[in-house]
Amino acid sequence: MGERKALGGSTLGDRVAYFGVFTALALIFSYVETLIPIQFGIPGVKLGLANLVIVAVLYKATLKEAYLLTVVRVLLAGFIFGNYFSIIYSLAGALLSLSVMALLKRAGGFSVIGVSIAGGVFHNIGQLLIAMAVVETFQVVYYVPALLIAGLLTGCVIGILTREMLKRLVNLKF
Amino acid sequence: MKLNLKEKIDLQKKDWILIAIIVFVAGLAFLLHGLIGGKGAGCVTVKVKGEIQGVYSLAEDRVIEINDGTNILKIRNGTADMAKANCPDKLCVNQRAISKNGESIICLPNEVVVTVDSSENSEFDAVAQ
């Protein structure tokens, strides 16, 4: 994180407040997504609007907070909109996705869009791995091309949106 | 497969390399599947929690109750389609019918996997535990 001018400093109180706002935002996006299911013709593929907040936090806050937000968001969204299975799959996808995004961001040379694309792709790969473990079959490999391309496209959309969001949050730091 | 990006989004060189790799791997996986998965009416293997429940020919039309009726599979005109499932998301029901070797319908909540194997080529049986 650069030592740029911050909107409200970063005391513990500020961080807690921002964290709450971002958690609420991620939850709202999860909810909006259940309202508008964007169908890609492949079962289980979603736009992943909540990922928008995760990517933004990855760029605006520390990695620790991004991980914490991911876990909190997946658990809350899972309890409210999903079920036991959806929590497991979401968690696997989201954590792998965030780890890869953090690595690419640290590696440098990637734009927000590139990082987000990797996030989208690895979100799908994480879920696929869990699916393989649960159903004890390798047949799900059949979905790999579709999931990769879907992750690429959704990651790209989320990347562009996050970029626009970050442009408008230059002064925010927590 | 060209992406429609606005010109003011300046993607870095590494981004394009990443995109190229993803598209390449996806294409490769697609081609591999095309090579392995031949056409022709074979049979469907129904597995519940990783255990084979039954193997049914795609040649004859029938309705199969899986897992004491949690899922209902219909075989018609050489294709298999999940007609009913008691799970909340209904992803398996919404999925299109399968007929090609290697294709599968999976109902994750009930841990039901339906896969197509051609009758001669049953190498996948060795993979299943």
Report yes or no: B63 and B83 within 8 Å, Cβ to Cβ: yes
Encode pLDDT of A17-52 as tens digits: 889 999 999 999 888 887 765 555 566 677 888 889
Residue in B23, B88, B106 nearest the CB of A135: B106
Percent share of chain B, pLDDT over 90:
8
Q: Which residue stretches of A42-111 are H helix?
A: 50-60, 63-81, 84-107
What 3 state SS string does chain B have? CCCCCCCCCCCCHHHHHHHHHHHHHHHHHHHHHHHHCCCCCCEEEEEECCEEEEEEECCCCEEEEECCCCEEEEEECCEEEEEEECCCCCHHHHCCCECCCCCEEEECCCCEEEEEECCCCCCHHHHCC
Interface test with B, best of A87, A136, A162 (most B CBs within 10 A): A136
Encode pLDDT of B85-94 as tens digits: 888 878 888 8
Cα(A141)–Cα(B87) distance, rounded to whole angstroms? Answer: 23
Q: What is the pLDDT of residue A41?
A: 56
* pTM for this entry: 0.68
Encode pLDDT of B11-53 as tens digits: 788 889 999 999 999 888 888 777 765 555 578 888 888 888 8
Q: What is the pLDDT of residue B119?
A: 52
Q: How high does pLDDT run on average in chain A?
A: 83
pLDDT at A6 over 50: no
Q: What is the pLDDT of residue B1?
A: 34
Q: Which residue has the tokens 């897992």?
A: B67
Q: What is the pLDDT of residue B118?
A: 61
With both helix axes pointing from N to C terminus, report the angle between A144-167 and A50-60 in degrees, rounded to the nearest 10.
60
- Please give the C-alpha separations between residue A157 and each of A52, A89, A164, A173, B116, in angstroms, as whole numbers: 9, 22, 11, 24, 34
- What SS3 class is residue A53? helix
pLDDT band at A112 (very low <50, low <70, confident <90, very high): very high
Is the CB of A117 less than 8 angstroms away from the CB of B102? no
Encoded tokens for A85: 């299975």
pLDDT at A152 over 90: yes
Encoded tokens for A109: 């040379």
Is the CB of A148 less than 8 angstroms away from the CB of B33? no
Q: Which residues of A touch B49 (CB under 8 A)?
A: 136
Q: Checking DSSP bridges between strand B51-57 and strand B71-76, what pairing results, if any?
A: unpaired
Residue in B26, B102, B124 nearest the CB of A145: B26
N-to-C CA span, chain A:
9
- The chain B residue lying nearest A86, using CA atoms, is B109
Q: Which residue has the tokens 């039954």?
A: B54
Interface test with A, best of B6, B7, B22, B114 (most A CBs within 10 A): B22
Burial class (CB in 10 A: 0-12, 13-18, 19+), B53: middle
Q: What is the pLDDT of residue B126?
A: 41
Cα(A40)–Cα(A48) distance, rounded to whole angstroms? Answer: 12
Q: Which residues of A touch B11 (CB under 8 A)?
A: 111, 113-114
Q: Across the strands, what pairs with B98?
A: B80
ipTM of the complex: 0.77
Q: Which residues of A touch B100 (CB under 8 A)?
A: none
- The chain A residue lying nearest B10, using CA atoms, is A111
Encode pLDDT of A119-141 as tens digits: 999 999 998 888 888 776 666 66
Q: Across the strands, what pairs with B62?
A: B75
Report yes or no: A33 and A139 within 8 Å, Cβ to Cβ: no
Report yes or no: A174 and B65 within 8 Å, Cβ to Cβ: no
- The chain A residue lying nearest B25, using CA atoms, is A145
Question: Which residues of chain B have a Cβ shorter than 8 Å from any chain A Cβ?
Answer: 1, 3, 5-6, 9-15, 18-19, 22-23, 25-27, 29-30, 33, 37, 47, 49-50, 88-89, 91-92, 94-95, 102-104, 106, 108-109, 111, 113, 115, 124, 127-129
What single-letter DSSP state applies at residue A168?
Answer: T
Q: How high does pLDDT run on average in chain B?
A: 76
